[in-house]
Structure 1
Amino acid sequence: MPELSPPWYSVVNIDLFHRVAKQTILHPIVPWFIPLAYRAQAFQYHHPPLYFSAAYAFIITLIWVLQWINRYLAFGPPRTFDWTEEVVLITGGASGLGLLVAEVYGMRGVTVAVLDKNCGSDGDELEARNVYFYKCDVGDIAQVEAAKRRVEEELGTVTVLINNAAVVHGKPLLQLSSGDVEDSFRTNIIAHYNTLRLFLPGMIKAGRGSVVTISSVLATLPAKGCSLYAPTKAATTALHHALTAELAEYPFIKTLLVTPGQMTTPLFNGVKTPSFFWAPVLEPVDVAKEVIAAIDEGKGGEIAMPLFSQWAAVFWILPSSARKALRKLSGIDTAMEGFRGGQKKDE
């Protein structure tokens, strides 16, 4: 029996409406066509349809300008990204989001190094040209030091660091073993310290760099069954903010925080999203496109997907009873019941 296509309404969600709105009624240019159309029909400036539509277009444009000013003041001017001179290093890039980013950059001619303990033979080149594997447990400082020496000798100074490696042990706290705890902290947070301490000096010396931290919305909204994963991601988020402050004296190094929701990768295999409308499952390619675009444009800042993750922090200013009710209504604490994932190496 042929496989049926998913129903059309399965792709209808709040993010779809938001994307359409951003290209139409919330675009800084499109709303101006309405008062212009009224004017072309001989409406006078004092006519309500014309001045109300012009006022709306002005407000939307003003908000867009203020947002641009806010980003500029917060993260500074973008750095120049020269793809012929960059070396991109991705941890946990053997599959999922990390592999997608590696393959895209490799196909564009950018030199890419992948550090992953689950790769094939050391130094293998992937199908995408210019992407090289280095077998490495990024939670082990000695292995990262050895990988750094090889990468710099064979490929050059790393100028883009994407800390993507992660593992998930989706168990209640009392079922976690000491090995689970150690494995998660080594891969999800200690690995960040290892790579940052080793590769940042090279970026500072080179006078250019981008540091990308792949966190998770679970860092802000920890779910039942994520008592190990969520705290490690909260630590990576805190590390990003502290690091950004410390790197303020080096404006040529940009820091980017990525906080995605659930993605269709093996990391959370079997997890059922609480709401397909409000919290749609992300395709890794959509997240990869946003990350690559930000790096290419030399931007710092934050990428939060899907839409609800941009407002996740608001949850904590609500009264405790409201938070409890929202957790129950959203289904966030039952989502991990079908978890069948394993110890994967990408977010």
Structure 2
Amino acid sequence: MSDIARRRWFSREGFTADVLSSIVRNTVLDPSKTFLAQVLLHYAPPTATFLAQKREVVLKWLRVAFALGLLRVFNAWLSRRAINRGVSDKFDWPREIVIVTGGSNGFGKNIVLMLAARAKARIVVLDILEPQYTLPAGVRFYQCDITDSSAVAAAAEKIRTDFGASPTVLINNAGIIYARPLLDNTEDQIEKMFKVNTLAQYKLIHEFLPDMISRNHGMIVTVASQGANCTAPGMTAYCASKAANINLHEGLASELVTRYKAPRVRTILVTPAYAKTFVTRDMDPEDGFLSPLLEPETVAEAVVNQVLTGKSGYVGVSAAANFITFNLRSMPLWFQSLLRDRLDRTIKTPLVKHPWVRNE
């Protein structure tokens, strides 16, 4: 993928709130641009006809935009420094060993393809299903039931033997959903969602994190969901399993510093909105300006972009909807209830199978 493609103005989903906010960030809230505009306006000839009686008004608003832009930049810098514990680390991607769970299809497939193309890393696809695509050079598939501790241990041993080292990056992407009201979910369905979405992440972290801690180098990527921040009616059990992912990420990030003294082990949390994957097979997801229905490549690209920085981070996709769900609990209770109730209309069985769903 070219740099031009990665810096596109318009998203794959068209003109959305994310695109608009990106334009605002890169113009009105870019302090370098508003400072330059102030300088040019201040020293422009007073006789310039296009400035007639408007100079002071425009300068006033440029100063406001400049101050807001500086505040945004400083806040972003402070957040990055805090979550990265004020220390830096270097990832030599052709030498790193990256595990992608659920890498046979969906988000995982696109993460694997993008990482292989851009990072040239050694990549392990860990999945119970065989990949539905041709694996690029440097990518190996290991069939594994990640909900089974003994299967995870056996796969880990084989990976270390085959690669001669322990993995340094773990992308916990695998997930499953049965979009049903709580009482319509069977006990087996609820247990399976928690086993795949939640408990498997603990098993994988238990297996691969100790080596990262011993070297004070590595990365754990947790793929959760915006449903983890805002439970939608009709998928309560799924949202609960993903909410546990967020608590896992936050607790792990702190323990790496306070308990394990490994501040260079990076942690990344990803919370995507609805996307065109098999996960939405039983849903009629909303596709709007604030929360567009995402292409799988959009989510994968956001994950890969953050991973390749070699830094901890929080990636909300799409960002506008994520801002609302992330801050939901700080909002009035009437608004929280209204938003959750409104989401009920998206969790309905579609009348026609979605074109992106290929399997039963």
Match of 2:130? 119
d(CA) in 2 for partners of 1:40, 1:319: 47
Q: Which residue of the other structure, out of 333, 340, 343, is the alignment partner of 2:344?
A: 333
SS at match of 1:29: helix
Is residue 29–residue 61 contact of structure 1 (8 Å, CA) maintained in 2?
no
Q: Indicate yes or no: 2:292 matched with 1:280.
A: yes
Is residue 166–residue 211 contact of structure 2 (8 Å, CA) maintained in 1?
yes
Match of 1:315? 328
Cα distance, 1:303 vs. partner? 0.8
Is residue 129–residue 143 contact of structure 2 (8 Å, CA) maintained in 1?
yes
Is residue 302–residue 317 contact of structure 2 (8 Å, CA) maintained in 1?
no
Q: Indicate yes or no: 2:320 matched with 1:299.
A: no
d(CA) in 1 for partners of 2:151, 2:82: 39
Is residue 274–residue 293 contact of structure 2 (8 Å, CA) maintained in 1?
yes
d(CA) in 2 for partners of 1:69, 1:305: 22
SS at match of 2:274: coil
Cα distance, 1:34 vs. partner? 1.5
Match of 1:213? 222
Match of 1:80? 90
**Matched letter for residue 284 of structure 1:** P
d(CA) in 2 for partners of 1:168, 1:228: 9
d(CA) in 2 for partners of 1:102, 1:115: 11
User: 5 Å matches for 1:241-260?
Assistant: 241-248=250-257, 249-260=261-272
d(CA) in 2 for partners of 1:50, 1:22: 19
d(CA) in 1 for partners of 2:297, 2:178: 24
Query: 1:105-149: CA deviations, max 9, x gaps?
Result: 22342100011001169xxx9431111110001011111001001
d(CA) in 2 for partners of 1:209, 1:97: 21
Match of 1:7? none
d(CA) in 2 for partners of 1:232, 1:47: 55
Identity of aligned residues (%): 27
Q: Indicate yes or no: 2:182 matched with 1:182.
A: no
Is residue 257–residue 301 contact of structure 1 (8 Å, CA) maintained in 2?
yes
d(CA) in 2 for partners of 1:221, 1:241: 17
Match of 1:4? none
Is residue 118–residue 135 contact of structure 1 (8 Å, CA) maintained in 2?
yes
**Matched letter for residue 174 of structure 2:** A
d(CA) in 2 for partners of 1:47, 1:175: 63
Specify whether residues 109 and 273 from structure 1 end up closer, same or farther in structure 2 by C-alpha distance, changes over 3 A only: same
**Matched letter for residue 114 of structure 1:** V
SS at match of 2:327: helix
User: 5 Å matches for 1:33-182?
Assistant: 33-42=36-45, 47=56, 49-50=58-59, 52-76=61-85, 77-107=87-117, 108-119=119-130, 126-155=134-163, 156-182=165-191
Specify whether residues 338 and 29 from structure 1 end up closer, same or farther in structure 2 by C-alpha distance, changes over 3 A only: farther
d(CA) in 2 for partners of 1:218, 1:197: 26
d(CA) in 1 for partners of 2:59, 2:183: 64
Is residue 273–residue 280 contact of structure 1 (8 Å, CA) maintained in 2?
no
d(CA) in 1 for partners of 2:247, 2:241: 10
Is residue 43–residue 50 contact of structure 1 (8 Å, CA) maintained in 2?
no
Cα distance, 1:161 vs. partner? 0.3
Is residue 290–residue 321 contact of structure 2 (8 Å, CA) maintained in 1?
yes
d(CA) in 2 for partners of 1:279, 1:239: 26
Q: Indicate yes or no: 2:25 matched with 1:22.
A: yes
Cα distance, 1:43 vs. partner? 5.6
Cα distance, 1:48 vs. partner? 5.1
Question: Structure 2: any 5+ residue segments left out of the alignment?
Answer: 1-12, 48-54
Is residue 101–residue 174 contact of structure 2 (8 Å, CA) maintained in 1?
yes
TM-score by length of 2: 0.84
Q: Indicate yes or no: 2:26 matched with 1:31.
A: no
Specify whether residues 78 and 276 from structure 1 end up closer, same or farther in structure 2 by C-alpha distance, changes over 3 A only: farther
TM-score by length of 1: 0.87
SS at match of 1:256: strand
**Which fold has the larger relative contact order, with Cα–Cα distance below 8 Å and residues 6 or more apart in sequence?**
1
